[in-house]
Structure 1
Amino acid sequence: MIERWSLKERVKNQIEYDALCTQYAAEDVDALVELISEVQSSTADAVRLGKEQVPIEIIKERFRQLTQMHVAYILDSLRTTTTQINNIKAYLLTALYNAPTTMGFFYSAQVQHDFGRK
């Protein structure tokens, strides 16, 4: 129990929890902290992301890269999505996994769109 609490505290520090809670609902941020902690403490060999089984150690490494900006990116994306999400946990796991590699491209595309570039 102490290890799980300690892990959640590390995740909160990693993603700058208090700062996120000033911009987003605490329950939404808490849900992501819980999901990240669940993966970080998993003893499974692999987790399904999309249609692929991804080794848990690769997922854990990617989750260790998550920052406040990545979590904000995911929460902002959830606010603006118009697509129905049938399995929110699977969606969030995939979004968290992909955030470190896709966030920069997303914001670059937004800037280009906002300035009318193609």
Structure 2
Amino acid sequence: CTEKEGSEILVQIKDKATNILTNKGFSEDGICQESKAEYANGNIATKTAEQVAAAIDNCRQDNHTGDSILANPVPYENPESSVKIAIDDVIVKKQEETRKCGKKSDRGKRK
């Protein structure tokens, strides 16, 4: 993917987002331009505790994994026991496990 292709994709995404906003009555900066009841009612959508419990029970019955998930002791979102990993900007095709001092290996070399 070249920089030009990436720029073209970003332009398309921006145009699509702008079209969606304007078709739904919003300005380009996301402000609702029309008076719509579904956007202006001020009520927060909530579910009762019973509805939430019923949904959890349905998921447990369908997946048969609820108990094992609840019993899992690994706190994935705990910063003390998690690591964020990112791909470096070089992205090599092949990586040697070890490197000899100053000598390049013949592996992957075109002949």
**So what's the TM-score if we normalise by structure 2?**
0.21
Task: Choose 1 or 2 for highest CA Rg.
Answer: 2
Structure scoring higher RCO (CA < 8 A, sep ≥ 6) equals: 1
**More strand, by proportion:** 1
**More helix, by proportion:** 1
